[in-house]
Chains A and B, each alone.
Chain A
Amino acid sequence: MANAVTAVETLEEKLTQELGYDDHFHEHHHGDKYQSNFLTTYIFSTDHKMIGRQFLMTGIFWAIMGAAMSIVFRLQLGFPEADMAWLRPILGKWIQVNEAGIGKLDPEFYYSLVTIHGTVLVFFVLTAGLSGTFSNLLIPLQIGARDMASPLLNAFSYWFFFLASVVMFLSLFLSTGPFSGGWTAYPPLSALPQASEGSGAGMTMWIVAMAMFIVSALLGGINYVTTVLNLRTKGMNLWRMPLTIWAFFVTAILGILSFPVLLSGVLLLMFDRSMGTSFYLSEIVVGGQILDRVGGSPILFQHLFWFLGHPEVYIIILPAMGIVSEVLSVNARKPIFGYRAMVLSILAIGFLSFIVWAHHMFMSGVNPFISNFFVVFTLIIAVPSAVKVFNWISTVYASNFRFNAASLFSVGFVSMFISGGLTGIFLGNSAIDIQLHDTYFVVAHFHIVMGIAAFFGMFAGIYHWFPKMFGRFMNETLGKVHFWGTMIGAYAIFWPMHYTGMAGMPRRYYDGGASFDAFRHFTELNQFITVAAIVVFFLQLVFVINFFYSIFSGRKMTVKNPWGANTLEWTTPIHTGHGNWPGNIPTVQRWSYDYGKDGEEFIPQYVPLKEGEHDHGGH
């Protein structure tokens, strides 16, 4: 084994010498002017690998925050009678203690928790933490570039995200509480401080944070697209790109096209809130006060919001799909099945994501006739999605499947994507949506298909590329415990919600539907869900501890290419410096999925085609 590895590395060095592209790069062994001290290396770095890690760390922080919030509101839903006074040291006045000494969660704060949980998980964790981390880390490394097209803009992208995080975090400490009108921020609730405490200063800070986040997403997106289009190494034509890069590329395009629409949407909301305009407001009597705002439409905001909101769920899931495709193929020791179909599916999903937004609005009062088109386009998405699922399964078929934490999470991703995707077929059909809209069925659907699935993609990516990020491995045993526990636990949390949803139980009910005869008979189910959520939350500690411990004391990486992968990131030195490759940049001779071809276990991308050999990516 060791000899084989050395042989491969020698071959790699030889080929990079002979065929590599010489861009007259000079390596500075003691750090260049951009990485000379602690501050420029770790904090204000312009190195894409460091920025990727910064996105990941901030993402992990928000994931823990968001999950902790969900535990508090799950406690409320599972055990509404329980005494929550013990949370007073953390939540302060949001726990109201009555004369009997029983502490109750404030309803307003319950809605704040739900809102901030949604916002931070969708945007800060699964957009910035997932796409931000892996686009940054992998785009230059896998396409053979020294860094992003504009490292400085890239650093700005992180720092705008950081500022957005700071503002959002500070809003948690407002005396009127953080925003509480749902992550979709529908006006008039979000526009009128009279209608809800959280719509005061909390909403202002939410808007400011979101505006900065959008700037971050745009700076990042522009960079990713430019880098993929312009900085590919010699020979890396589009059809030779790994599916990760395809996914990040399309994700970035979706972000560039849709985030500005959300920005304009929230800016108009800000005008309505503070400048007396009526974009979204009309004929409102709130708290006995008659407002003189007429002519606006709350539906307009919903259109603007979901024009981002729907592409956004693909911004979340596409990078996970790309990561899973890569990790599955590497560990199956077999090419990804139907590479071109996978690329075309990504493009089709990306395109369709722009013409389905109003399926979130079937019951919002839009003309029912319009919904016909959105039903058709929405259900068409099932076709490329099904193709992807069948291709992942076929990749595992007749493979030599290595079980490790990364590949397990990829299998878990496919399972979650199937389960959650299939319930989308119910909801996308507007007739069924009449009953299921805004019930727990929807909660189950989107948590499984874009929450858990995207998290699994993220975990797969972290376990797989951890050696590239930190030069060490995460502990495999703990990784597998983490996977199996989370896999079972995540289904235990979200599967039962389908049943309450079918019974018609609306989401966002503070008392879990206790005042309705139709919804209140799910006490045991709600308790089960809450217990499962708590168990899964603590299971994630296994990951967090494994992650941070391994950064400093994990098993050291001793070979450059530990997984036997074909892609270029594994040709960089173990401790990858600024500029990624010390000498020439390797050139690409073939697609990235030659696993098990012609009796070779794997043939990296820099190995030239043999005479008469067929390149599967280029045809």
Chain B
Amino acid sequence: MTVLIIVLCIILITIVLVQIGKVTELTAQIKGEREVMRDSSKWNGYLSVGFLVVFLLAVFISAWEYKNQMLGYGPHTSASEHGASLDSLFDVTLIFTGIVFVLTHIALFWFAYKYRWSENRKAEFISHDNRLEVVWTAIPAVVMTLLVVRGLDTWNTAMADVAPGEDFIEIEATAQQFNWIIRYPGPDGKLGTRDYKLTTSNNQVGQDFTDRKNWDDVLVGQEMYLPVGKKVRVRIIAKDVLHNFYLPQFRVKMDAVPGMPTYFVFTPVKTTAEYRNELRKYPEYNEPYDPADPTGPKRWEKFEYELACAELCGKGHYSMKRILRVVSQEEFDAWYKKEPSYYVSQIRGKDDDPNKGKILDIDPAEVPAAVPVEEPAK
């Protein structure tokens, strides 16, 4: 039935359009070619100017309406150290391109209107103008040079790995269809070795439990925590297909590649609570979080940093979400302490524990930072 209606509609539209076509052809014949061209010139000239005005207005009004989505503006500021420089580069680019956009559009549509066809006008024979062409080759070249220099400076700072001797915390994000496994190094501050061949349903990231650095490693639940002001290096790993570790508020994005660990280093500068407080100033964040519950908590109160996947990874790509809480160092320590070692809580003493029946020389939940060199017997 629906299909029939659609087919009938299309047939009807076709007939109408064909009739319009025939009528306009006939009027054109009656009016004569010159008259038709005069009309067309007039109307399309007006339409050009009309379009120019409406389009530029729509651009400015919509930009004003959505100004809070601009990077580095209003509620949409970066929560990481490197993010601010990236945001300001965005704004500089926006200013330059905005000027070019407006000027070229005015020129294009205004010239089309101003020099619209008329019997009395003669086009000028201008084939080229070397001086003008040099000028408008040079201007973009200079602007591009400025943007490139600033861009590369920002890029190389943002992408720099940790320097030797620097204080940082290293965590590991393993992506799989369709969720994230986040591993913290535990008290020793070091992530244990892994081998994808050791992966089982009980050992999702393939930790090698003969490596004592693994004994205290923590696999965290739905929420992960990071201390504010501390450099974090995320080791990014994919088990099956490409994924992407994406923290929108932190301007962090890096593919997870099977067989090739990648990383991203960043420093959170705003705690979740601080970010919420900033959002509080904006009316859209004072709307109820759940539209069905108008008296419930407001959007800013429920705000959380989110981890998303930004590389197509299959049919559940859109659902790879994790919550990230940035807290003070004290709160972080308190949380970290409570998180149990995966080895101790899930593996130790079970059938798949390679150290089953062995007496360990250190407390597996408290592996010291300086791990004894001696390897446990295999």
Q: Does B259 contact A (CB under 8 A)?
A: yes
Beta-carbon contact of B196 and A284 below 8 Å: yes
Which of B55, B151, B262 lies in contact with A429, CB distance below 8 A?
Answer: B151
Q: In the complex, which of the residues B96, B255, B262 has the most CB atoms of chain A within 10 Å of its own CB atom?
A: B255
A217 smallest CB distance to B (angstroms): 25
Beta-carbon contact of B304 and A517 below 8 Å: yes
Chain A residues numbered 481-533 whose CB sits less than 8 Å from any CB in chain B: 484, 487-488, 491, 495-496, 499-500, 502-504, 506, 508-511, 513, 515-519, 521
A432 vs B240: C-alpha distance in the bound complex, in angstroms? 28
Q: Does B8 contact A (CB under 8 A)?
A: no
A43 vs B22: C-alpha distance in the bound complex, in angstroms? 31
Question: Once A and B bind, how many residue pairs between them come within 8 Å at the CB atom?
Answer: 374
A321 vs B122: C-alpha distance in the bound complex, in angstroms? 26
With A298-B257, A476-B24 as contacts: A285 and B315 at CB distance below 8 Å: no
B97 smallest CB distance to A (angstroms): 4
Q: Does B371 contact A (CB under 8 A)?
A: no
Beta-carbon contact of A510 and B306 below 8 Å: no
Beta-carbon contact of A499 and B69 below 8 Å: yes
A368 vs B28: C-alpha distance in the bound complex, in angstroms? 62
Closest residue of chain B to A386, judged by CB?
Answer: B140
Q: A163-200, CB under 8 A of B: which get 1 and which 0?
A: 00000000000000000111000111100100111000
A517 vs B83: C-alpha distance in the bound complex, in angstroms? 20
Q: Which of A27-35, A224-232, A249-257, A335-343 contacts B (4 or more CB under 8 A)?
A: A335-343
Beta-carbon contact of B154 and A284 below 8 Å: no
Q: B294-334, CB under 8 A of A: which get 1 and which 0?
A: 00000100111010111111111111010000000000000
Q: Which of B103-111, B164-172, B336-344, B355-363 contacts A (4 or more CB under 8 A)?
A: B103-111
A426 vs B307: C-alpha distance in the bound complex, in angstroms? 23
Q: Does A390 contact B (CB under 8 A)?
A: yes
Closest residue of chain B to A512, judged by CB?
Answer: B318
Q: Does B249 contact A (CB under 8 A)?
A: yes
Q: Does A81 contact B (CB under 8 A)?
A: no
With A382-B140, A426-B97 as contacts: A196 and B315 at CB distance below 8 Å: yes
With A365-B260, A431-B155, A511-B318 as contacts: A402 and B125 at CB distance below 8 Å: no
Q: Which of A17-25, A433-441, A604-612 contacts B (4 or more CB under 8 A)?
A: A433-441
Q: Does A334 contact B (CB under 8 A)?
A: yes
A519 vs B140: C-alpha distance in the bound complex, in angstroms? 35
> What is the interface residue range for chain B against chain A?
35 or more
Beta-carbon contact of A425 and B258 below 8 Å: no
With A1-B33, A425-B97, A545-B17 as contacts: A404 and B40 at CB distance below 8 Å: yes
A393 vs B240: C-alpha distance in the bound complex, in angstroms? 50
Q: B251-263, CB under 8 A of A: which get 1 and which 0?
A: 1111101111010
Beta-carbon contact of B126 and A337 below 8 Å: yes
Beta-carbon contact of A400 and B118 below 8 Å: yes
Q: Does B158 contact A (CB under 8 A)?
A: yes
Beta-carbon contact of A515 and B318 below 8 Å: yes
Beta-carbon contact of B93 and A372 below 8 Å: no
Which of A189, A371, A387 lies in contact with B137, CB distance below 8 A?
Answer: A387
A180 vs B312: C-alpha distance in the bound complex, in angstroms? 10
Closest residue of chain A to B245, judged by CB?
Answer: A363
Closest residue of chain A to B316, judged by CB?
Answer: A107
Collect the chain B residues with CB atoms within 8 Å of residue A513's CB.
Answer: 318
Which of B62, B124, B152, B304 lies in contact with A499, CB distance below 8 A?
Answer: B62
Q: Does B141 contact A (CB under 8 A)?
A: yes
A206 smallest CB distance to B (angstroms): 15
A362 smallest CB distance to B (angstroms): 8
Which of A337, A503, A510 lies in contact with B315, CB distance below 8 A?
Answer: A510
Q: In the complex, which of the residues A107, A180, A192, A518 has the most CB atoms of chain B within 10 Å of its own CB atom?
A: A518
With A89-B3, A363-B254, A484-B47 as contacts: A555 and B25 at CB distance below 8 Å: yes
Residues of B within 8 A of A (CB): 2-3, 10, 13-14, 17-18, 20-21, 24-25, 28, 33, 37, 40-41, 44-45, 47-48, 51, 55, 58-59, 62, 66, 69-71, 76, 83, 85-86, 89-90, 93-94, 96-97, 100-101, 104-105, 107-109, 111-112, 115-118, 121-129, 132-133, 136-137, 139-141, 144, 147-148, 151-152, 154-156, 158-159, 176-177, 196-197, 199, 201, 206, 239-242, 244, 246, 248-249, 251-255, 257-260, 262, 284, 299, 302-304, 306, 308-319, 321
Interface CB pairs A-B, < 8 A, 21 = A111-B312, A111-B314, A186-B311, A192-B240, A282-B258, A334-B126, A337-B127, A368-B155, A376-B152, A394-B132, A399-B111, A402-B37, A418-B105, A422-B100, A426-B93, A431-B89, A439-B310, A484-B51, A499-B66, A518-B306, A616-B127
A-B residue pairs, 9 tightest by C-beta: A282-B259, A504-B248, A403-B44, A368-B159, A431-B154, A429-B151, A477-B24, A509-B318, A334-B123
